[in-house]
Amino acid sequence: MTNPERPLVRSKSFLSLSALLLSLTSFAQTDEDPNLAKFSAISEADTIVMVPMRDGTGLATDIYTPKGDGPFPVIFVKTPYNFNKIDGIQLRLAIDAIKHGYAFVVQNERGRYYSEGDWEILGRPRTDGYDALTWLADQEWSSGKVATLGCSSTAEWQLALAAQNHPAHAAMIPMASGAGIGRVGEYFEQGNWYKGGAHQTLFSVWLYYVQQNIRPQFPDGLSQEQLQRLRKAYDLAADMPTVNWKKQLRKLPSVEWLKDAGGNEGPGANLMARTPNDPKWFQSGLYHDDEDFGVPAFWFNSWFDVSQGPNLALYNHVRNNASDKSVRDGQYMVVAPTLHCGFFRTPEHEDLIAGDLNVGNATFPYSDTIYSFLDHYMKDKRSKFRKNTPRVQFYTMGRNEWASAKTWPPQNIEMTTMYLASDGNANSVFGNGTLSTLEASGASTDTFSYDPMNPVPSLGGGVCCNSDASVGGSFDQRGIEARADVLVYSTEALEENTEVTGFVRAKLFVSSDAKDTDFTIKLVDVYPDGTAYNVDDTILRARYRDGYDQQVFMESGQVYELNPTAMSTSYEFKKGHRIRVEIASSKFPQYMRNLNTGGNNYDETEGVIAENSVHHSAEYPSRIILPIRR
């Protein structure tokens, strides 16, 4: 018999890197795709056009225009991935663009496949991106207005480009664009390389497949006809050897992960040596919040993505700080209950399963909404977009409904503090940790041993692109909560449905006998039968507790205040459920484990066991602050 208090679950394969490359940002194809014939019937193609950059480097570009007379507004997709042929979601987007009267243009970043030059992450948006827009605006088939569109790597470069305020850049649709954010407000993730000062290992895995600074290349200056013939025989895609990344990421030193796996030469090792505030992060293609932003944007984000916090913060930053009022007014956002770039894979006639959690029917009119926005900004005709489109649309899990608001977070939020408490034994789900609105009447401390050679495993959360070394979404956490190195604090059963919508903050008072260690915080929904589903989590490396511009190590016997970057969600905890907080010192391999030595971590081969404590008392009121929507 099915337990009505349990969500419907079923097994589901997860978005590995190889699957991601076949999604919005990749273009391998079979001749059997019926949409290809449909696309050819309505479009004209001009392929492998080498668009010149200011230094003479040519970037390989495929151009598709509607049949008939132009000029046409342009949708521009720039990618580091292989578009030797076009298929899947990208083909669907191209068909939609042509049907709506847009030219659809795809370009490889410099140094990728048939584009000339040396590759850099994000593809030089401030120069190559700018030059590409200038070239597109000047073509006779172009109306002079260009919109950028894409998910993940085809979105991230758009952010720094928007800071250039190119006169042809009329609109942008960045989806899952967090890896293009360097610093925004409290978040110093530097393109998702870090979270709370801990390396997010997804990027090491991603670079194994992408970094190819030494690669096969044809001579520069070949004719378009020659390149078109060559592409039929050579797609220049590297066939990287299969790697067991769960096993590989356990190896030390971490800086040799890619070399040991047989990866190509590239930036991975140098990036790993950078601290979160290294000046080199501010000289790259990342967008930082000291820059202006000059383009109306429709942001598409996900609750189970690697970068939902910075993405939400950047939307607010642009909405509040862009120098041009029309740009401030031109910001809109959708937040879906999907994993990374899962928007166009949302089932239309069945429930969406995010990991193992059923979040209901999350269907959303993505195409209609996108083209309503684009038509408003790209075509000289009246549009009802602004009148008909809420400023922010977000999906509330648990309630499993779409909602809307004028701001993020919504205005009807009450910040509610819940305090951690125990009798000194919150270790595991079998301990006596509690979570309530009552301030501590006594003093107690929960202590656990964190052994970096036996880290707490990651299971679910905002994860992408790491070949399933760590999976994304929401899963039953009871196996993790059975560990003695995980502190567990739970409310009593809720007396009413409680919606948490907005930024979720934690404040911990901690101590350790190690010079440096990490603290993770996880928000969990506990069903009446004990099933515990993760909602979101965050992490802070203790050495960065006073800011990312300095490293301050811990002293044994001292208590320190930690304020990790905020979690974020929209989630309704049902009556009879419990709200739970888990605290540990690792979530591996999602985050690189701290070896507790106070050293670099990335170049070390030995760790030490840390005795870590969380304090809760009137003097040290460790707590979580929930944005409860009334």
Three-state DSSP string of 445-489: EEEEEECCCCCCECCCECCCCCCCCCCCEECECHHHHCCCCCEEE
Looking at the structure, tell me whether residues 304 and 378 fall in a common domain: yes
pLDDT bracket for residue 1 (50, 70, 90): very low
Residues 263 and 337 both lie in one domain: yes
Give the least confident one: 27-41, 193-207, 356-370, 420-434: 27-41
The answer to whether residues 147 and 170 touch, using CB atoms and an 8 Å cutoff, is yes
Number of other residues whose CB lies within 10 A of the CB of residue 547: 11
295 and 361, same domain (yes or no): yes
Is the residue at 520 inside a domain? yes
Please state the φ and ψ torsions of residue 181, each to the nearest 5 degrees: -95, 125
Asked if 486 and 361 sit in the same domain, the reply is no
- Span 210-228, mean pLDDT? 87
Q: Give 607 or 6, the one with higher predicted confidence.
A: 607
Q: 427 and 333 share a domain?
A: no
- The whole-angstrom separation of Cα 561 and Cα 112 is 46
> Given this model, what pLDDT does residue 180 score?
97
In the 8-state DSSP scheme, what is residue 341? Answer: T
Which residue, chain included where needed, has tokens 């042929």? 85
Instruction: Map residue 378 onto helix, strand or coil.
Output: helix
pLDDT score for 32:
59
CATH number for position 586:
2.60.120.260
Q: Which residue has the tokens 């006073």?
A: 546
99 and 171 in a single domain? The answer is yes
Q: How far is residue 516's CA from residue 592's CA, in Å, rounded to a whole number?
A: 14
Rounded CA-CA distance 449/126 in Å is: 47
Q: What's the pLDDT score for residue 520? A: 98
Q: How confident is the model at residue 553 (pLDDT cuts 50, 70, 90)?
A: very high
Identify whether 589 is preceded by a cis peptide bond (ω within 30 of 0).
Answer: yes
Contact 523, 502 (CB under 8 A): no
Whether 458 is covered by a domain: the verdict is: yes
The conformation of residue 242, written as its DSSP 8-state character, comes to P
pLDDT exceeds 90 at position 15? no
Over residues 345-397, the pLDDT tens digits come to 999 999 999 999 999 999 999 999 999 999 999 997 777 899 999 999 999 99
Q: Are 162 and 222 part of one and the same domain?
A: yes
Q: Is residue 612, in this structure, part of any structural domain at all?
A: yes
Domain count, the chain: 2
Helix (H) or strand (E) holding 272: helix 268-272
Rounded CA separation 356/472 (Å): 10
Domain extent at residue 234: 17-396
Collapsed DSSP state (helix, strand, coil) of residue 4: coil
Question: What is the C-alpha to C-alpha distance for residues 461 and 535, in angstroms, rounded to an integer?
Answer: 7
Tell me the average pLDDT of the chain.
93
Q: Is the pLDDT of residue 7 over 70?
A: no
Compute the average pLDDT of residues 40-49.
Answer: 94
> 103 vs 5, which has greater pLDDT?
103
Nearest to 584 by CA among 534, 544, 618: 534
Residue 383 burial (CB < 10 Å; 0-12/13-18/19+)? middle
φ, ψ (nearest 5 deg) of residue 259: -60, -45
Q: Is residue 154 part of a domain?
A: yes
| Final residue in a domain of this structure, among 329, 364, 396 | 396
Whether 401 is covered by a domain: the verdict is no
- Residue 303: give its domain's CATH number: 3.40.50.1820
Helices (H) and strands (E) in the chain, counts: 15, 28
Residue 278 identity (one-letter amino acid)? D
d(CA 358, CA 409): 24
pLDDT of 215 > 70? The answer is yes
Mean pLDDT calculated for residue range 140-157: 97
In the three-class reduction of DSSP (H, G, I as helix; E, B as strand; rest coil), residue 337 is classed as: strand
Cβ pair 45, 90 in contact under 8 A = no
The answer to whether position 188 is within a domain reads: yes
* End residue of a domain, out of 364, 396, 428: 396
Pair (213, 158) in one structural domain: yes
6 domain residue, yes or no: no
pLDDT band at 217 (very low <50, low <70, confident <90, very high): confident
What percent of the chain is predicted at pLDDT more than 70?
A: 95
Cα–Cα distance, 224 to 235 (Å, whole number): 15
Instruction: Assess whether pLDDT exceeds 80 at residue 400.
Output: yes
* Per-residue pLDDT reduced to its tens digit, 469-487: 999 999 999 999 999 999 9
